[in-house]
Structure 1
Amino acid sequence: MTTTLITGANRGLGHEVARRLIEAGQKVWIAARDAEMGRKAADRLGADFVQLDVTDNASVEAAAETLRAQAGHLDILINNAGILGEVTAPEDMTADRIRHVYETNVFGLVRVTHAFLPLLRTATAPSVINITSGLGSFTLTQDPERIESQYPLAAYGSSKSAVTMLTMQYAKTIPDVRFNAVDPGQTATEFTGGLGHGVEEGAEAAVRVATLGPDTPTGTVTDRTGVLPW
């Protein structure tokens, strides 16, 4: 059975991806910073739970040890945890405001990937799926026909540009693990203030890549309709 860990999966997009993958027959571990909310979500879905704060080294290492002891391997890691940060005009952005967003969206992804890579390498066809965003796309943020061009989110957008590039660098240099980035698009969750399409649509890209099995490619960036321009 495929064992999958999803960070930030106690609600929203991560929760829906977990539900869909359990439905597809995978054994899913929900990782969340808030233990109470995470356990409730896991119980609701029939998943396992591990406490994990992506901004804390000790928490991430402890979570990796828990899965090593209880699961023995990890087939798929989905780096979903992320924050929007303050919606501040770029001219008013400070280093501290950007750092706060990067700590979760970028450094957290690196921290989790590094900690779980040894466990992934014990699987037959290991895969890492990173949740990115069209708000980090140079092409889409300059296209007036796209909604991504309407939001001047310097911290969040640039953090997702970093997520995409990190995914490409991992894919180029770690051939024994497949690395791909997916964009859920603007999805109506608490994260977006309820704007956008439903979580069912938002989850499609991640679920598709997570269920490809041995046919999973590496080094791709897609949304639910196909290749995402960068």
Structure 2
Amino acid sequence: MAPRRPPQHTGAMAEHPAPAPAAPDRPVALVTGAAHGLGLEVAVQLARLGTDVLVGARDPDRAASAVRGLAGVDALPWPLDITDQDSVDRAVRTVEETRGRLDILVNNAAAHPDHGAAVTGPDLDAAARTVGVDLIGTWRMTVAALPLLERSPRPRVVNVGSGAGSRTDPRYGTAVSGGGHPAHALGKAAVHALTGVLAAGLADSPVVVNAVCPGFTATVPGAREAGARDAAESAPGVVWAATLPDDGPRGGLFRDGEPLGW
């Protein structure tokens, strides 16, 4: 089945209501690494579609400040560190206690790219931490959330990947990168592979798992000047994957709703 194009969403958010359990007819989403940038914009766009969104971040105060005034978006009240099993378990318990189920998990949290690093002269300890966050952290978060996702009639998991971890991406892929930011490329390539493995393991379940490359997105100072697009332009591709129909694609990597080889 050919994937549909992702929707575009515009418009201002209303005043943020007091936290409350989800209404039975509203999907519940958890977005990790969502105190700013792409994760926050994904949360906003999901909320505009009527989703009850919880955002997690290592700094809960920053997350709470970021979502203040955003209708349909709440912040987890403590740190969500995907490298810490206790932190992940506590976040999942909070979703269970306050919402009772989970319909959408967006694994957006990731390590910072190792710009300036070279594959021929790596800091392997730092590289291990990067791959550990991107791969093991995403895997840990997904496994912990599965019991709640399995309560949903339409569970979706979206892993935020990157063209940097794709051999075939003509702009950012490993074939054209010159071996730059190697830990980032390897970590994201591993996320793409994890997506395929998870999709295969969940093939007989309603849990739909895909990966999305958001494209070069302005999430750090100076990125926009280097040609990055705004998070509002990148988020619809993630939202598209989070809202796929039951017969939508599984185990793929996409950018802006179009397949991307990995």
TM-score in terms of structure 2 length: 0.82
1:181 aligned to 206, 211, 214, which one? 211
How far is the alpha carbon of 1:190 from its aligned partner?
A: 1.2
Identity of aligned residues (%): 36
CA–CA distance in 2 between the matches of 1:192 and 1:107? 29
1:139 aligns with 2:168: yes
How far is the alpha carbon of 1:180 from its aligned partner?
A: 0.4
CA–CA distance in 1 between the matches of 2:168 and 2:154? 32
CA–CA distance in 2 between the matches of 1:86 and 1:131? 17
CA–CA distance in 1 between the matches of 2:156 and 2:193? 17
Q: State the partner residue of 1:29.
A: 54
**2:163–2:172 contact (8 Å) kept in structure 1:** no
CA–CA distance in 1 between the matches of 2:190 and 2:82? 16
**2:64–2:75 contact (8 Å) kept in structure 1:** yes
**Structural RMSD (CA):** 1.7
Whose helix proportion is higher, 1 or 2?
Answer: 1
Give SS of 2:83's match: coil
1:77 aligned to 105, 115, 121, which one? 105
How far is the alpha carbon of 1:188 from its aligned partner?
A: 1.3
Tell me whether 96-105 or 65-74 shows the greater mean CA deviation: 96-105
1:159-178 → structure 2 map (5 Å cutoff) = 159-175=187-203, 176=205, 177-178=207-208
Q: State the partner residue of 1:208.
A: 240
* Greater Rg over alpha carbons, structure: 2
C-alpha deviations, 1:129-186, integer Å up to 9, x for none?
Answer: 000000000122xx4xx24424611000010000000000000111211100001010
Q: Which amino acid aligns with 2:159?
A: N
5+ residue gaps, structure 2, are: 1-25
CA–CA distance in 2 between the matches of 1:30 and 1:204? 17
Change in Cα spacing, 1:155 to 1:135, as seen in structure 2 (3 Å) is same
CA–CA distance in 2 between the matches of 1:210 and 1:6? 11
**1:84–1:191 contact (8 Å) kept in structure 2:** no
Change in Cα spacing, 1:157 to 1:225, as seen in structure 2 (3 Å) is same
Q: State the partner residue of 1:2.
A: 27
2:87 aligned to 48, 59, 69, which one? 59
Q: State the partner residue of 1:153.
A: 181
1:130 aligns with 2:159: yes
1:45 aligned to 61, 70, 83, which one? 70
CA–CA distance in 1 between the matches of 2:143 and 2:62? 25
Tell me whether 189-198 or 61-70 shows the greater mean CA deviation: 189-198
**1:135–1:157 contact (8 Å) kept in structure 2:** yes
How far is the alpha carbon of 1:44 from its aligned partner?
A: 3.5
